[in-house]
A and B are shown apart, each in its own frame.
Chain A
């Protein structure tokens, strides 16, 4: 996997690069801002771009802007946003994209999970921080069908939203894959979501359900 990292703090940037190389990935380039990112992507054809959200010059949402531009240009390119804290306002219109991830920076401490998530994004999947999911689920609470779910089903829904596969969910919750499958089937029925064949489309359906403002 070829990775480009854009992060304004030099030490952190180097740390991230080292983390990817430690796990056997190639770091194609590192940048301190989003300047020249598009050209670099064009010349190096990476599988994944890791972006800090706050970067020069305004330190507000440069990373989000760059992610949008990249997605418009190359919808299949993996884009992973890193942030110091979760802002649902940023995530709202991004989470439904394929090959997109949004994680808190401290997720890097769990190196294996973090690299796994990055690989998932590079492969066209999703990776949403549990806090992002919690915020999305939380803001939908009291609004209808989510109340119908059992606690276990809600856990499963959260992990689905994070982008995990059934196997990944089974692993995380220490359940058998069959049990997870049953939970998934139940909760999708309760929420009126088609049980799509691919894991990715299922995630998108869940995310768009959680993210939609008009559904009950």
Chain B
């Protein structure tokens, strides 16, 4: 059947059900129990609507049609026909007796609907040994139907209290019992199939079956209670009707997956409130009875109310926790995992870096991602790194806070509730992680800014060195030449002036030497020819013998400068502080890293924490994303190793 035909059909079915039930209620006036008629009407209409909702979006769904058809059946052959039959008997309308006998025995067929519902739910297919169950039920109905319809026991239900079709009590009773036994057996078997299916199911199907199980359990609990209290306390009839309507409603909700994931919450709330209500009612009754012995009755009632009021909050918490442990395993586990983690953090035996793993374990979703919202600069991950946009586009859940670095959890759909539980139970862990992520972000920014400062400084040094060489020094040489020329032109005529010019030129030579040294300290011009040339030059000026093993490869000016100054400071240290006799200086390109290694045979004992020279080297290495390690035991020489990324 196509979609539009199915929709027309269910609209007709719903309309027919509503009209027939209205007629049934109207016809019941004066001949039967109006309240029961109303309850049946509501149940039938709810059921047909639930079925219609399923068929509307799944036109071929058997369970949807089952609900619609069985609702229509009950409405027509039980409710409407019974009301008509009774009115007909009263007013002498035709077919009063057949209408009544059909209506009164129709429940046996209706019970088959329940069998099919348990077998077919949730996808309309029967699995395993369930296939024969409907046939058993049908056989039972086939036997039981005449057994009940022709049974003299049915007489009191008729208007006039006589079953006009009554036959032999013996064989009708036998047929009835036989048929009923088969129908009940089929019903029980279908429930067993349902339970087996529930226990072996997982994922979405498990949740769907859980909805159904919840409704069935509610019916199983409420119906016996209301049967006992039916006449004692009439409002319980409403409760029974409500419980019955739960079945079709739960069926529809489960199939349409509407609020599918809330089943645990609903189960736990229902059980908890039922338990609390029972406990508090019992407490109230006990207090009133006990206090009534000593106090006046209004006083006893007041004391009872007071006790109940005081006990409410703690009782609710305890009951909720107990219920959660049993019925909302997921929520309980989630909160427990997060609470344990926070506790481990407090005791210092866990690292907040594990937060994401813990959250994934707690929620049971291995794809959960934790991030922190900076507000203006996007999200940071737990390590303080910016989060990519494709993660941000997934469905998020946030802690309800506008604070800086508010935790954000990215998770698959359907996990919202558990994630919120985890966020709540692990609030402290999330706050620490947020602070840490923010701090790491700042450290990264500081590193980057330090690298920029060093790079700018190196560039500036290079410019200054060049300016000194090509500007000031050249000018001084020119001036010296001019002075020598003046001296030459004087040609011995003014000995004093010639002497003064000599001194001036000597001073100029010193000035040039000073400038040369200054410029060399800023940035050795030998670096223009690469590290090898510059370090050759440097080693030649080092008083202790230096064994060189330097790559001839070229690198970026920044890296070469950094490596040069690290080597220079290392050599100076080796000579000055360690009084080394022999120094090995090696510079090699190794897997994207430029490694500068300086080993000496000096007195050792160098410490990164003491002496600004070594700290400066470490800073320089770090500013290029590198590292500096020093091994220096007293008397065992010093080994300095700087690693600079140069890929």
Per the bound structure, the CA–CA distance linking A70 and B163 in Å amounts to: 137
B528 within 8 A of A: yes
Cβ contact within 8 Å between A108 and B470: no
Cβ-based interface call for B441 (8 A): no
Contact indicator A18/B481 (Cβ below 8 Å): yes
Q: Is the CB of B481 within 8 A of A16?
A: yes
Q: Are A89 and B530 in contact (CB under 8 A)?
A: yes
Known: A16-B481, A141-B545. A87 touches B533 (CB 8 A): yes
* B577, chain A: closest CB distance, angstroms: 20
Task: Specify the chain A residue showing the minimal Cβ separation from B510.
Answer: A106
B484 touches A87 (CB 8 A): no
Cβ of B351 under 8 Å from chain A: no
> Quick check: is A19 within 8 A (CB to CB) of the other chain?
yes
Contact with B along A63-85 (1 / 0, CB 8 A): 00000000000000000000011
Q: At the interface, yes or no: A186 with Cβ under 8 Å from chain B?
A: no
With A15-B485, A85-B516: A135-B474 Cβ-Cβ less than 8 Å: no
Given A85-B520, A88-B526, A89-B536, A9 contacting B478 (CB threshold 8 A): yes
Q: Are B540 and A88 in contact (CB under 8 A)?
A: yes
A17-B520 Cα distance, complex, nearest whole Å:
29
B-side interface mostly: helix
How many angstroms from the CA of A19 to the CA of B541 in the assembled complex?
Answer: 32
Residues of the B chain whose Cβ atoms lie less than 8 Å from the Cβ of A60:
528
Are B477 and A105 interface neighbours, CB within 8 A?
yes
Q: B568 to nearest A CB, angstroms?
A: 15
- How far, in angstroms, from A108 to B529 measured CA to CA in the complex? 26
A52 nearest in chain B by CB position: B474
B537 and A135 contact, CB distance less than 8 A: yes
Residues of B within 8 A of A54 (CB): 470
The digit string for B469-501, where 1 denotes a CB below 8 A from any CB of A, is 110011111101110110010000000000000
The CA-CA distance from A10 to B293 in the complex, in Å, is 125
Is B485 in contact with A18, judged by CB distance below 8 angstroms?
yes
Question: Which of B477, B478, B512, B539 counts the most chain A CB atoms within 10 A?
Answer: B477
A36 contacts chain B at the CB level, 8 A cutoff: no
Q: Does A111 contact B (CB under 8 A)?
A: yes
Does B525 touch A at the CB level, under 8 Å?
yes
Knowing A84-B469, A85-B519, A109-B509 touch, does A139 contact B481 (C-beta < 8 A)?
Answer: no
**Cβ–Cβ contact B529 & A138, under 8 A:** no
- Given A84-B470, A85-B519, A105-B477, decide whether A15 and B482 contact each other with a Cβ distance below 8 A: yes
Assess the A108–B480 pair: CB atoms within 8 A.
yes
Q: Which residues of A contact B405 (CB under 8 A)?
A: none
Give the residue of A59, A109, A134, A139 whose beta carbon is less than 8 angstroms from that of B508: A109
A9 to B: closest C-beta gap in Å? 5
A85 to B536, CA, bound (A): 15
A residues within 8 A CB of B477?
Answer: 12, 15, 105-106, 108
Can you list 9 A-B pairs with a CB-CB distance of less than 8 A? A16-B481, A89-B529, A90-B529, A105-B473, A108-B477, A109-B481, A111-B488, A139-B536, A139-B537
| B-to-A contact residues, CB < 8 Å | 469-470, 473-478, 480-482, 484-485, 488, 505-506, 508-509, 512-513, 516, 519-520, 525-526, 528-530, 532-533, 536-537, 539-542, 545-547, 582
